[in-house]
Structure 1
Amino acid sequence: MLRNNHPTPLYRQLVEVLRHQIEEGKFKPDHPIPSERGLCQEYRISRITVRQAIAEMINEGTLYRKQGKGTFVAKRKINQGLVRFVNFSKTVLDLGMNPVTKILGNDIVPADIQMARILDIPATGQVLKLTLLGMADQDPLVLYESYFPVPLGKRLAEEAARREREGIPFSTYDLYGEPSGILPGSVNQTLEAVIADDPLASLMQIRKGSAILMITSVFLAVDQRPLEFRKAMYRGDGYKFHITREFS
């Protein structure tokens, strides 16, 4: 029960109680929490207090409202650091969800001028484009569009096909090593916010105009030879990223 004589405000106490109940599985993602009236009666507090607690949890992304239907538990966001690489399957498994990767495309396409420069191939050359969809419990989370020099791309695409057949979740980072005989030595990345157009929204099962976090990466071998140019598009309602920075 909530305590009136406690230094923590009542609405904050209710927030902590509801968070604990969600973490313990009492309220599941996409399922409703009790109504405002129900919470008022259960905890003997005012509707203003309940609304203040719910508003805070909506702002932090723990809950969301459906017009005319009530307040629901939001799916947990994947909280991923930007300093070290963590593979897709481990990230999803750590949240207790089932990771799946689907190959959406494996094509040899002409390289445009920018791609040729990034991958250090002739301007009239070709690249292998590998498109992957990463899912958690069958919900799309991230779309990978990767471009490789063709010889390397073919080897990695074969490994990707094997993993898909065997039901092994992966991102392109997991394809390096033994299959290719190459390990990335470093990666240059850029993070930006974009909005989903119609094709991307349909693929990711979100509304057109929804927030997307896009990380553009250039993977380099130990000798600084370019290996891969990748665009990874993460659902804004499914991911958040963090980084620790030091003052100089």
Structure 2
Amino acid sequence: MTESNDGIDRRSAAPMYDQLRRLIVEHIENDRLQPGDPLPGEHRLCDQYGVSRTVVRQALGQLEHEGLIERVKGKGTFVARPRTAESLVHTLVGLYEEVERRGGHVHSDILRHERITADAEVARALELDEGAPVVVLERLRHVDGDAWSLSTTWMPEDVGTHSFDVDLREASLYRLLAEQGIVATHGVRSAEATVATHEQAQLLGLTAGAALLRLRSVSRDESGRPIEFFVAYHRGDRSRFEFQLDADSSRGELIRIP
């Protein structure tokens, strides 16, 4: 960017933050910057355009919301990577299968994998008695080397026991269960917007309060028995969820999640 105050018209009806936003977009396009390339920081933009830090933060916040830039705590501001289209909301596939289908790679850090007793929420989702034994699997998922999502999966003990003899860092849980004859055929999956807690932000490489998409799912086998309940938090700056629609399948249902 040129080191001057040119570009901000203080007589314009357009807000200064929106003018600055457009100038940053022009800089990215004209200089043909690529995903991951660094952008000027807040102090430099303040000096360059003679605007306040509030104006700069509004402009960067809007660009981040639009998915054009990403701000990494302690590192700076960068051109954002393109968001990957996912169909996890409306199909019974897992992240591993979704990414594999487009030629990517998923690696999981196993944060927790053990037998526990079901609390009220887990028991209700899996249709078990509270206190019944279940297997919990908590994973930090990486896609093509980038931290992508945090997921916690609960399974009835007789289902989850199959997961203990497999290295799930590089394997698909759904595929593993299918090999044991346990196949999800239907279920309910919901999505809602939320923000990252301090702990989630640290694991996902975000700032606390960054946008996340929370998926909540209960999958059932052919008999109707719940075989899996999971809650997953996906980075809002990495994922874009797409839905296939047609006139014959326009029926929807509003489900209240307790």
Q: Does residue 74 of the first structure (1) align with residue 80 of the second (2)?
A: yes
Describe the superposition over 1:59-97 as per-residue Cα deviations: whole angstroms up to 9, x where unpaired. 64234589xx99742112111123334443454456665
- Shift of residue 198 of structure 1? 1.2
Question: Does the 8 Å contact 1:184/1:219 carry over to 2?
Answer: yes
Q: Does residue 103 of the first structure (1) align with residue 119 of the second (2)?
A: no
Question: Does the 8 Å contact 1:29/1:73 carry over to 2?
Answer: yes
Unaligned runs of 5+ residues in structure 2 are 1-21, 41-59, 252-258
Question: Does the 8 Å contact 2:120/2:130 carry over to 1?
Answer: yes
AA matched with 1:114: E
Aligned to 2:68: 62
Aligned to 1:237: 237
- Distance in 2 separating the partners of 1:29 and 1:212: 20
TM-score by length of 1: 0.68
- Distance in 2 separating the partners of 1:96 and 1:33: 29
Question: Does the 8 Å contact 1:176/1:184 carry over to 2?
Answer: no
> Map of 1:155-194 to 2, 5 A cutoff?
155-159=162-166, 161=167, 163-164=168-169, 168-170=170-172, 172-178=173-179, 180-194=180-194
> Map of 1:11-30 to 2, 5 A cutoff?
18=29, 27-30=33-36
Task: Check 1:174–1:77 CA distance in 2 against 1; reply closer, same or farther (3 A cut).
Answer: farther
Aligned to 1:141: 148
Describe the superposition over 1:153-210 as per-residue Cα deviations: whole angstroms up to 9, x where unpaired. 1112323x2x43xxx353x3333211x3211111211111111111111111111111
- Distance in 2 separating the partners of 1:240 and 1:107: 32
AA matched with 1:148: M
Task: Check 1:115–1:58 CA distance in 2 against 1; reply closer, same or farther (3 A cut).
Answer: closer
Pairwise CA RMSD of aligned residues? 3.4
SS in 2 for 1:176: helix
SS in 2 for 1:174: helix
The share of aligned pairs that are identical, in percent, is 27
AA matched with 2:236: G
Bigger shift: 55-64 or 84-93? 55-64
Task: Check 1:111–1:71 CA distance in 2 against 1; reply closer, same or farther (3 A cut).
Answer: closer
Aligned to 1:46: none
- Distance in 2 separating the partners of 1:100 and 1:239: 16
Task: Check 1:97–1:221 CA distance in 2 against 1; reply closer, same or farther (3 A cut).
Answer: closer
AA matched with 2:177: Y
TM-score by length of 2: 0.66
Count of residues in Structure 1 that have an aligned counterpart in Structure 2: 202
SS in 2 for 1:223: coil
- Distance in 1 separating the partners of 2:205 and 2:71: 19
Question: Does the 8 Å contact 1:130/1:157 carry over to 2?
Answer: no
Question: Does the 8 Å contact 1:102/1:132 carry over to 2?
Answer: yes
- Distance in 1 separating the partners of 2:100 and 2:151: 19
> Map of 1:7-46 to 2, 5 A cutoff?
18=29, 27-32=33-38
Q: 1:154 aligns with which of 149, 157, 161?
A: 161
- Distance in 1 separating the partners of 2:36 and 2:220: 41
